[in-house]
Amino acid sequence: MSAKAFDAIVIGAGQAGTPLAGRLNAAGMSVALIERNLIGGTCVNTGCIPTKTMVASAYAAHLARRAADYGVTVSGLVGVDYKAIKARKDKVSGASRTGLETWIAGMEKCTLYRGHARFESANTVRVGDELLTAPKIFLNTGGRASVPDLPGVHDIPYLTNSSMMDLDVLPSHLIVVGGSYISLEFAQMFRRFGSEVTVIEKAPRLTGREDEDTSAAIQSILENEGIIVHVGAGDIAFARKGNEIAVTFSADKPPAVGSHVLLALGRVPNTDDLGLDKAGVEVDQRGFIVVDDQLRTSVPGIWAMGDCNGKGAFTHTSYNDFEIVAANLLDNDPRKVTDRIEAYALYIDPPLGRCGMTEAAVKKSGRRALVGQRPMTRVGRAVEKGETQGFMKILADADTGEILGCAVLGPGGDEAIHCVLDLMYAKAPISTLARAMHIHPNVSELLPTIAQELKPLD
């Protein structure tokens, strides 16, 4: 069989692959876009869009239960129709996917192949009975939930972030194994839907990449809503107990027994079944595709974007990967991965917005630094909204005034963080933030105030 020739092959219609296919098509190239599952990848189908749609439903339920705090009367108990919540989630997610499918269908020189792509050589890919070839191949194959081989894990009907999206009944007691970002969003969400929730984390604290004060505040927020949190868990094991599931985690504590178990123990890249060895593409010990600062792999003519390259595990890093590849190939703009500043959010309520370095990272760097912090109890907008959990913290270099990092855990923290992030990209000193006039009343209006009150970091 002779291979069908294209100018470019894009494997994976996720948050980097689809827009790249669009840019390449607009530049006049013929493109084969290959997707073995759902168009849009994790973000559209099992990640950002559906989960944040459910977070919105959970927030509505939580606020309704607090109506009396605002002088609002709600007669009777606040109920949750989980099937309706799922239907709303499916509608929002489905509309996004349909929009992408319509966009792809309108690309004049783009052919969509549905199936599993495997390399047969460095420039040849097989999809089912089709053999495709191109001088440029772009990988955007994403990742999936990691399922460690823990004792008894394969004897129970565990859930992952993906299968949670198909759940059509509300758990009576959800046990979440893992204490990081995905796990905590689900934990709070289902607690607000009415489930009993237990979180089990083997590390000494939740969200281990955050500073200790941030982790402690996050745990307090969750526990204030009735979520049971166990950290420092020992050997975690699973067993059926009648119609329920028992999770053991400590010799001196009874097992947690619940109706459902969610495993949220990290992600692994979808690279193990692509035939990368036949193409000569190098992967690291964890299976991530090795790339340089412009996302080129070890094989000329092959690039890797998104979760499969280990350079970020967020929709925004995947999309930025697309922008970097497109800029270098099409715009004569030498953008690099190392140009970007780490930034992300944790979508519990209130959310955490983070950018740059943590306090622990600044201390480890050895540089002289300044820090400013303010609790949400002293932020007028948070008080007015009746949402005063959390705090804001800014770090700056004591010698140069460079803004090093910021954390905003509080109302609108995922939005307010961009005030600082954009200044960091502009390489503006902390004095620029200190002199800025922000709108009152607003959470972000206190960022300039904090910048005026910095003290040496011990």
Q: pLDDT band at 251, cuts 50/70/90? A: confident
Give the burial string for 326-346 (b: 16+ CB within 10 Å, else e): bbbbeeeeebebeebebbbbb
Tens digits of per-residue pLDDT, 280-333?
999 999 999 999 999 999 999 999 999 999 999 899 999 999 999 999 999 999
- Predicted pLDDT of residue 234: 87
Pair type for strands 237-241 and 244-248: antiparallel
Q: For the residues 217-237, what does the mean pLDDT come to? A: 97
SS3 333: coil
Tens digits of per-residue pLDDT, 426-436?
999 999 999 99
Residue 126 DSSP code = E
Q: Which helix (H) or strand (E) holds 45?
A: helix 41-45
Residue 445 has pLDDT above 80, yes or no: yes
Residue 228 has pLDDT above 80, yes or no: yes
Residue 366 DSSP code = T
Q: pLDDT band at 250, cuts 50/70/90? A: confident
Residue 443 CB contacts under 8 Å (≥ 6 apart), including other chains: 376, 379, 381, 382, 392, 408, 410, 411, 412, 413, 416
Q: pLDDT band at 252, cuts 50/70/90? A: confident
CA 446 – CA 450 distance, rounded (Å): 6
Percentage of the chain lying above the pLDDT 70 cut = 100
Residue 273 has pLDDT above 80, yes or no: yes
User: Domains of the chain by range and CATH?
Assistant: 4-144+268-339 (3.50.50.60), 153-265 (3.50.50.60), 344-456 (3.30.390.30)
Residue 458 CB contacts under 8 Å (≥ 6 apart), including other chains: none
Cβ neighbourhood burial of 4 (10 Å; 0-12, 13-18, 19+): middle
Bridge partners of 261?
175
CA 455 – CA 458 distance, rounded (Å): 9
Mean pLDDT score across all residues of the chain: 97
CA 129 – CA 8 distance, rounded (Å): 19
Tens digits of per-residue pLDDT, 354-385?
999 999 999 999 999 999 999 999 999 999 99
Tens digits of per-residue pLDDT, 100-144?
999 999 999 999 999 999 999 999 999 999 999 999 999 999 999
CA 10 – CA 221 distance, rounded (Å): 42
> Which residue is catalytic, options 62, 116, 418, 440?
440
Q: pLDDT band at 247, cuts 50/70/90? A: very high
Percentage of the chain lying above the pLDDT 90 cut = 97
Tokens of 442: 């607003």
Residue 412 has pLDDT above 90, yes or no: yes
- Predicted pLDDT of residue 2: 87
Residue 439 has pLDDT above 70, yes or no: yes
CA 92 – CA 99 distance, rounded (Å): 11
Tokens of 413: 């923290």
Tokens of 106: 């309108």
Tens digits of per-residue pLDDT, 31-63?
999 999 999 999 999 999 999 999 999 999 999
Q: Is 440 a catalytic residue?
A: yes
Tens digits of per-residue pLDDT, 174-188?
999 999 999 999 999
Is residue 371 within 8 A of residue 359, CB to CB? The reply is yes
- Predicted pLDDT of residue 1: 66
